[in-house]
Structures are given as C-alpha cells and as structure tokens.
Amino acid sequence: MQTQSIGYMDAPVPKGIDLKAEINKLRKEKNAVILAHYYQTGDIQDIADFVGDSLALAQWAARTEADIIVMCGVHFMGETAKILCPDKKVLVPDLNAGCSLADSCPAGEFEKFVKAHPGHTVISYVNTTAAVKAVTDIVVTSTNARQIVESLPKDAKIIFGPDRNLGNYINSITGREMLLWNGACHVHEQFSLEKIVELKKQYPDAEVITHPECKKPVVEVSDFVGSTAALLKHAVKSDKQRFIVATESGVIHEMRKQCPGKEFIPAPPQDSTCACNECNFMRLNTMEKLYNCLKFELPEIFVDEAIQQKAIRPIQRMLDISAQLGL
C-alpha cells in the first residue's frame, strides 16, 4: 500500500453540517460516483450510487462515466477500479482499509510459487494486490469462480490463490484438483461451528446461508453456499422466513431492505462475545471520511504503470467471461 499524508482523513468535519446533503452536493459538483460493498455500514450503503459485491463493483467501475470513483470498500477494490480506469481519479475513504486475505499472499512469494509450477493456469481471487494480479492469468470473484474454473479444459492444471477455503470448496464442487495457495480471510475463518449448530437447534426452521470463504465444517452444515450477492439473491427467492447468515454482517442491511418480512440472524464469531462478525478493515470507512474524501479528493489510489498494464489483462478476461456467462 502506498504512503500518503493521511491526516486529512480524520480532519474534523464542521459542526452541525448535514453530512448526507454535503456528500450529495460534492458528488454532483465533482461528477463523482460512490460505489459501496455490502460490508460497509448501512449509512454508506444507503448514500452510495451503487452497492454490490466484488464482481459488481469491478463491473460498475469499468463502465462508469464519472470523473472520480469513490470506492467505499477496501484497498484491493480501489486498486481494481484504478487498473480498469487508469485515467480516472480513484479514492478510498480510508487508505488503511486493507484485507487480511490479500495480505496472506505477498506478490514475491506467489510469483515464486507460480514459477515453481510451470504449465499451470494461474487463477487469483480478486482479493489480491495489483502485483499478484500481474502474475495471474484470470481473476475471479466468489460470484464467478466456479463457472470460470469450469470454463477451462477438464485436464487443465490450475493454481488457485489465495483463499484456501474458497479453493477447497471449488475443488469439491467441480471435481478439480487445483493447487491451492494457503491464505484465508480472518473474518470468514472466525465463524463458530458450535454457535451455528446451537442457533440451528434454537431455530430449526432457519436456513444457514454461508460464504465460501468460511472453513469446510461451517460450509458442510450450511443449506446454501454462495458469494455475498448470491446469498442476497437466495434470501429473496427462498420461501423460508428465517436465515442464519455466515458472512460479514453488513449484507444483512440490504437483506432486510429487500426482504422486509424475513428474519436474518448473524452467525457469531468464535472468540468473541459479539453476536455478529464484522470486517475491521471495511468498517474503517465512515460517513465523515467519505465527506473528507470527496472534499479533499484524497486519499487517492495509484498503481505502478508496468503492473497496471499486466494486471488489467486477467481482470478484463474475468469481465469478458462473466459477460459471456451473463453474470
């Protein structure tokens, strides 16, 4: 992550201002678009021009005509937008919003791993740095990973990184034997199997719906497994009235909006008394920082040009395959 003077991120917001009105004014004046991931707080999701999962945010960034993209998410999401739109200004409200999964895959080590296994197609989850994407053949997200892996010949040798849980899950549903990088997301690995089983006893009519970044035992007790957007779609479609949700609890905001009559119970993490599981990186973004970010047009995401030119190819390949598949 690049260093910038980031004192302005916490610059005091003038007392008594109407944050929503000011953000609306600034985005109009500056022709800025606000994109937000489902793991943002409800107020940020509500003010965003578009809310989506990692795939949808990349698709939206690729087609926007705005001059400024404000990515309310984490650093790799801003980087992906910048790689796709090198001539636009891409901002994130808090430059410290990293990702434990992206951090679990240092580019130099991943490149050595790739070189040690020649003849493999390299598939990387979008939760990676630009430098990892630069040594990747196809980027995937949790929404399209299965279909993209299945689009390759049955005997293709594949490296899949960095999420070992998503990789294991894709191996199990496709019958492939992809070589996996040993990385993980600290939020999704934290769900407690025991507490989910306990909740299921308490609410036997509830469906357990789970993100594939979770560990295998949690995936195995689930009724439905899918990306953030797939979980949301499933909740809308299902005739069940109650759901135990094993992913970052921010998505429950949109689930409640789209399914007003249904009940959503966040699955609890292991080592905590908290009832729900939040990503501390995602939650660094606040309405105040979003306001400062639009006002000062900082902090900005930069990607080295040589890396950008290599990293855009696997991202574009993902977008092209997704468009062909209607995703």
34 closest CA partner among 18, 21, 46: 46
SS3 state at 265: strand
Nearer CB in complex with ligand 13P: 142/165: 142
H/E run at residue 138? strand 138-140
Minimum CB–partner distance for residue 99 and ligand SF4 (Å): 3
- Give me the least distance between CB of 100 and ligand SF4, in Å please: 4
Shortest spacing between CB 79 and ligand SF4, in angstroms:
13
Shortest spacing between CB 124 and ligand SF4, in angstroms: 13
DSSP codes of every residue in 66-109: -SEEEEES-HHHHHHHHHH-TTSEEE-S-TT---HHHHTS-HHH
* Residue 127 found at the interface with ligand 13P (CB under 6 A): yes
Nearer to ligand 13P, 232 or 290 (CB): 232
Q: Which is nearer to ligand 13P, 227 or 286 (CB)?
A: 227
| Rg of the chain in Å (alpha carbons) | 20
Q: How far is the CB of 103 from ligand SF4 (least distance, A)?
A: 8
Dist CA 183 CA 325 (whole Å): 28
Binding-site ranges for ligand SF4 (CB under 6 A): 39, 74, 99-101, 127, 185-188, 248, 279, 281-282
The region of 88-96, 135-143, 176-184, 292-300 touching ligand 13P under the rule CB under 6 A is: 135-143
**Residues in 197-256 that interact with ligand 13P by CB under 6 A:** 213, 227-228
Choose from ligand SF4, ligand 13P, none: what does 141 bind? Cβ within 5-8 Å by kind: ligand 13P
Binding piece for ligand 13P, criterion CB under 6 A, among 10-18, 26-34, 137-145, 316-324? 137-145
**Residue with smaller CB distance to ligand 13P, 23 or 72:** 72
Sign of CA pseudo-dihedral 310, 315, 316, 318? positive
Question: Which residue, 39 or 291, is less far from ligand SF4 as judged by CB?
Answer: 39
Please say which residue, 64 or 143, places its beta carbon nearer to ligand 13P: 143
The arrangement of strands across the sheet holding 68-72 comes to 50-52, 32-37, 68-72, 89-91
Helix (H, G, I), strand (E, B), or coil: what is residue 279?
Answer: coil
Q: Are 290 and 44 in contact (CB under 8 A)?
A: yes
DSSP state of 16: T
Query: Which alpha helices (DSSP H) does 134-222 contain, by range?
Result: 145-150, 164-174, 193-202, 216-220
By CB under 6 A, name the binding residues for ligand 13P: 53-54, 127, 141-143, 185, 213, 227-228
